[in-house]
Amino acid sequence: MDRRRFAPALVLYEPKDIVSALRADGVPVHILPPLPVPRPDGDRGRLARAWLRTRELTSVVAPRARALVRVFRAERPDLIYLANGVTTNLDGVLAGAFCHLPIISHEKGFRRVGPIERLLSRWVDTCVGMTEQVTEYARGKGIHARRFLTIYDGINCEGFAPGGGAAVRREFGVPADAPLVGIVGHLQRWKGQLLVVEAIAIARARHPELRCLIVGGVHRLGEDYAAEVRARIAAAGLERHVILTGARHDVAACMDAMDVVIHSSIRPEPFGRVLIEAMALGRPVIAPRLGGPCEIVADGETGVLVPARDAAALAEAIATLVTDRPRCAAMGRAARERVDRMFDIRHHVRAIEQVFDDILGTETVERRATRAAAAV
C-alpha cells in the first residue's frame, strides 16, 4: 500500500515468520493469545453441532472479540479489514461494530453462512469477493453488506521469470525433449492428483514418453490419499513417468520445467493461485470448468477448461497440447499477457486502496451515529 496515505496495523491469531520484518518496517503487529477450539465429543448430530457452535461463540469468538476491542481502542483505526470473510472473522465483526468502525470483509471461499453470520454481516460496509462466483455466493447466502465488489487476487509477476526448469528436469531424469506436464499443491483428495494419474495413464497411449511431476508435500490430513496415489502409480506401471517430488522450495522452477501446468480440483476452487503463477511463467494451463478457474483461464487462448472429475477429458487436453508445441507457445504468451493485465499484485493493491478511499471519503458523522445506535 501507499504508506504516505495509509498506516497499516496487523492483528494475527498466531505468530508468523513475517512478523519481525513487518515490525522493522514500522508496522504495528498484535498477536492475540491462543484459545482452544472446541470440538464435539462422540455424536456429530444436529444437537452436537449446535452445542459446538454455542461453545465456539462463548469460548472463542467472544474472548477474541474482547481482545480485538482492546487493540482497536489502542490503535484507533479508521476502518477494519477482515482478511478471511465473515464466517471466520465473527470476532472482528463484533469488535468493529462495538467500536463503531466501518468494516470490509474479504470473502475467499464458499464457506457455510448461517443465521449468526447473516445477522452480524449487517455491520459490514463492503464485501469483497476474490472472484465473481465468490461474490455472488456471499450475496446469495444472505450476507447483508452495504455493497459487494469483486477484486481478483494478485501476485508479483516480476518475481516469476522463466528459469530453473532445465535443472529440475535433470534432477528427475526427464529428457529435455520429453513432453512434461505437472500439478502443484499439497496431496489431499480434493486437489485431484489421483485424477491426474488416471489421465496420464490414458494419455500415454498416444505419447509413450509423456512425463508428469506431482509437486507438493502431503497434507496433514492426506496420508491415506497419498498412499492411494502411490498405489495407483505402481498399479499402472507409471513409476518412471509420474514423479512425486515432495515439498519443494523452488515451485516456480518446477513449473518452468513443465510444458503444461494442470489444475484438477474435484470441487469448486474459490480462486486458483497456482494458475496465475503458471501463467506468469508463460505456461498454458488445463483446469476444470468449475469455480475460480472459469474466471482465470481464457478457454482456448491461455489454456483449456475441461469437465471436472473427467480423467478422459483431461487426458485428451494433455495429449492435444503436448502434441502442438507452437500452440502451447502461443497460449503461454497470451497467458503472460493476461496475468500482467488482470492479476498483477499492483492491480489488487490499487483496487483495495480505492475501497478504503470510498469508505473513508463517505463516512459521515450521521452514518457513525447510525452505526452506534445499531451496535447498541
Residue 109: what residue type? G
CA distances from residue 170 to 165, 218, 249 in whole angstroms, order as listed: 9, 24, 17
Domain residue extents for the chain:
10-154+345-375, 157-342
Return per-residue pLDDT of the chain as tens, 376 residues.
Answer: 899 999 999 999 999 999 999 999 999 999 998 876 555 454 556 666 666 667 777 888 999 999 999 999 999 999 999 999 999 999 999 999 999 999 999 999 999 999 999 999 999 999 999 999 999 999 999 999 999 999 999 999 998 888 999 999 999 999 999 999 999 999 999 999 999 999 999 999 999 999 999 999 999 999 999 999 999 999 999 999 999 999 999 999 999 999 999 999 999 999 999 999 999 999 999 999 999 999 999 999 999 999 999 999 999 999 999 999 999 999 999 999 999 999 999 999 999 999 999 999 854 434 443 333 333 2
CATH number of 157-342: 3.40.50.2000
Q: What is the DSSP letter of 104?
A: E
CA distance 83 to 70: 19
Q: What are phi and psi for residue 354, nearest 5 degrees?
A: -65, -40
pLDDT at 44: 56
pLDDT at 173: 97
299: phi > 0 → left, psi -120 to 50 → alpha, else beta; which? beta
Beta carbons of 309 and 197 less than 8 angstroms apart = no
pTM score of the predicted model: 0.88
CA distance 198 to 190: 15
CA distance 178 to 5: 52
48: phi > 0 → left, psi -120 to 50 → alpha, else beta; which? alpha
> Cell 447483508 appears where?
144
- The helix-helix angle for 311-323 and 325-342 (nearest 10°) equals 110
pLDDT at 219: 94
Q: What are phi and psi for residue 32, nearest 5 degrees?
A: -70, 150
Same-fold call for 10-154+345-375 versus 157-342: yes
CA distance 293 to 335: 13
CATH number of 10-154+345-375: 3.40.50
Q: What are phi and psi for residue 335, nearest 5 degrees?
A: -65, -45
CA distance 176 to 89: 48
